[in-house]
Chain A
């Protein structure tokens, strides 16, 4: 009974945020929301797996806009959404099959990519086998373009949206290959400067000796 009451309160809250023009078209969405909103759609199974697999601390910010998860009144959380954002949230929640263009305001680019490429139904099914999420995502997508695919970043517990964050050893290998020209140039510069300094020091020494004599 208490859960039903809570659900009703949350629906009322959402209703009050909907704009006048949007209200009539949203009845079906509100119905859908009533199925999901009781506990916002955060699936801690994925976070727990990533944390366990990588040994690193992971939080909701891997897939969600807010690091504290989708529930709450803060930025990127359900309680703070505007009417237009709720519409986007609803459309993301209705994207049961892969291929839909979703832009959920409570999800970040990685979260939206998961829904786009797998669909909500598959995500729900993967909760029991969170390790399979990486395989399902494949290795094509690399949102931050750091050379480590998003699925692998999920396994490593690193930020898939930050090119400056990844498994240090993997980043080292990738960047070493990516920047080999820069590194060769740096080596050349260091060698040239060292060569120049030797000559300079020797010249100073000779000059000093000449002056002494």
Chain B
């Protein structure tokens, strides 16, 4: 056997070992995953609830989305009318639509908080690398849900913001080398489906939003949850927690109670504040291809952290930074393997401050620096 053969065989064994460690068959039973599972109790224990909360908002999305499917028409001529019909004439239509919109924001917010707390608690440590990577992919899918869903009401802000978004995707190509140069353009053409954002785009975004993305999310979520149940909750703090509580029924009950509290908050918000009331009404008018583009076109609030820097900095800087952040996120389990939780907590705090400042004050910062 040559050295290279030996090396290949050893790599195969390593990979097999890696998989066995992440999917231990002996632990795949109710006893291990439910009855004997313990959850550490410490000052960061609240972080364990953020994942469940994200799942709760996803479930609300599915249920309210199914109701909306009964009436929504994915055609450029009827999309806006059907949304108006749902809001004005369908029994509890406005409430369902508002719950869908509010819970979409809730899902993205809780997913981001979950990622940041998981990072600060070092929940990506061996053998939880797959849990982390699946979580990152789930977050990307969640953002894509937001992007595709934004177009569906077919109003001024929806179509114009989608045009800007798709154009930005294509613009990435000019900074990519070789064969990669054409990939963003092909992606844009694939999702847009015609020369400009139109019926094909709406159809494709609709298919993505209601079929492909939910399917992908459910499959990946199943993998993510399986990993969480197999490996248990991470310690979360440097010192081993003095106290633990049983996952079933103690933690599960607390989790469900929190879902109840958030359902009540969501219901109250949805019945009291229509989500669209935050936008200027000219942006909510049906899209008019021949009319003037109204002022104030911008993406949903959860894209502000990248939108305002995009308006202020050269495009290549944003691409470079986005690429770096993406790579760091995927490689986090290996890059930060030896980093202490104190340092991770500091990095997580910095990221949180950046996200909050850009989301809340991004517009003011933009005007301050531009004028």
A residues neighboring B (CB under 8 Å)? 56-59, 61-62, 67-68, 74, 157-159, 162, 164-168, 171-172, 175-176, 179, 182-183, 186-187, 190-191, 193-194, 197-198, 201-202, 204-205, 208
Contact check, A165 vs B272: say whether CB atoms are below 8 A apart: no
Q: How far is the CA of A202 from the CA of B271 in the complex (A)?
A: 33
Q: Which of A61, A165, A190, A208 contacts B35 (CB 8 A)?
A: A208
Give the chain B neighbours of A194 by CB distance below 8 A: 256-257, 260
Tell me whether B291 is interfacial, beta carbon within 8 Å: yes
Check B260 against A61 for contact (C-beta < 8 Å): no
In whole angstroms, what is the CA distance A159 to B264 when docked? 28
B105 interface contact, C-beta 8 A = no
CB <8 Å contact, B277 and A186: no
Interface residues of B, dominant DSSP: helix
Q: B249, A61: Cβ atoms under 8 Å?
A: no
Report the bound CA distance from A58 to B295 in whole Å.
Answer: 9
Q: Contact: B264 with A190, CB < 8 Å?
A: yes
A-chain residues with CB within 8 Å of residue B281 when the two chains form the complex: 58, 61-62, 158-159, 162, 165
Which B residues are CB-close (under 8 A) to A164? 87, 94, 274, 276-277
Q: How far is the CB of B266 from chain A (nearest CB, A)?
A: 10
Closest B residue to A197 using CB positions: B256
User: Does A67 contact B248, Cβ atoms closer than 8 Å?
Assistant: no
A residues less than 8 Å from B252 (CB atoms): 201
Q: Are B257 and A165 in contact (CB under 8 A)?
A: no
Give the 5 A-B residue pairs with the shortest CB-CB distance, closest first.
A201-B249, A57-B280, A159-B281, A175-B272, A164-B274
Residues in A whose Cβ lies below 8 Å from that of B296: 57
**Once the chains bind, are B271 and A182 in contact (CB under 8 Å)?**
yes
Please indicate the chain B residues that have their CB under 8 angstroms from the CB of A68 in the complex: 291-292
Which chain B residues border A190 with CB–CB below 8 Å? 260-261, 263-264
Given A164-B274, A171-B274, the answer on whether A67 and B263 have CB atoms closer than 8 Å is no
In the complex, which of the residues B253, B263, B271, B272 has the most CB atoms of chain A within 10 Å of its own CB atom?
A: B272
- Cα separation A132 to B248 with both chains bound (whole Å): 64
Asked if B267 and A183 make an inter-chain contact with CB atoms under 8 angstroms apart, the answer reads yes
Alpha-carbon distance A67/B253, docked complex (angstroms): 52
Contact partner of B280 (CB less than 8 A), chosen from A56, A205, A208, is A56
Closest residue of chain B to A159 (Cβ to Cβ) is: B281
Query: Which listed segment binds A: B65-73, B282-290, B316-324, B346-354?
Result: B282-290
B19 within 8 A of A: no
Q: Which of B204-259 contact A (CB under 8 A)?
A: 248-249, 252-253, 256-257
> What's the least CB distance linking A146 to chain B, in Å?
9
Complexed CA–CA distance, A183 and B269 (Å): 10
State whether A179 touches B284 (Cβ < 8 A).
no
Report B-chain residues with C-beta under 8 Å of the C-beta of A176. 268, 272
Q: Is B17 at the interface (CB under 8 A from chain A)?
A: no
Known: A56-B280, A194-B256. A183 touches B291 (CB 8 A): no
Is the pair A186, B283 in contact by a Cβ cutoff of 8 Å? Answer: no
Distance to closest chain B CB from A154 (angstroms)? 12
**A57-B282, A183-B267, A208-B35 known; A165-B253 Cβ under 8 A:** no
Residues of chain B touching chain A, judged by Cβ–Cβ distance below 8 Å, are 35, 87, 94, 248-249, 252-253, 256-257, 260-261, 263-264, 267-268, 271-274, 276-278, 280-285, 288, 290-292, 294-296
Residues of B within 8 A of A168 (CB): 273, 277-278
A176 to B256 Cα, complex, angstroms? 25
A residues in contact with B284, CB < 8 Å: 159, 162, 165
A57–B273 touching, CB < 8 Å: no
Query: B295 to chain A: which residues have CB within 8 Å?
Result: 57
Are B277 and A166 interface neighbours, CB within 8 A? yes
A197-B259 Cα distance, complex, nearest whole Å:
12
Task: A182 to B267: give the CA distance in the assembly, Å.
Answer: 10
Neighbour of B291 across the interface among A67, A157, A186, CB < 8 A: A67
Given A168-B277, A172-B273, A204-B249, A186:B260 Cβ within 8 A: no
Which B residues lie within 8 Å of A182 (CB)?
A: 271
CB distance from B52 to the nearest CB of A (A): 14
Q: A162-B281, A168-B277, A193-B260 are in contact. List 14 more A-B contacts (CB 8 A).
A: A58-B282, A61-B281, A62-B281, A67-B282, A67-B285, A158-B281, A164-B276, A166-B277, A179-B272, A183-B267, A197-B253, A201-B248, A202-B249, A208-B35
Task: Please name all residues of chain A whose beta carbon is closer than 8 Å to the beta carbon of B248 when the two chains form the complex.
Answer: 201, 205
- Nearest opposing residue in chain A for B290, CB measure: A74
CB–CB A183/B271 < 8 A: yes
Can you sample 26 A-B contacts with CB below 8 Å? A57-B280, A57-B283, A57-B295, A58-B281, A58-B282, A59-B282, A61-B282, A67-B291, A67-B294, A159-B281, A165-B274, A165-B281, A166-B274, A167-B277, A171-B273, A175-B271, A175-B272, A176-B268, A179-B272, A183-B268, A183-B271, A186-B264, A194-B257, A197-B253, A201-B249, A208-B35
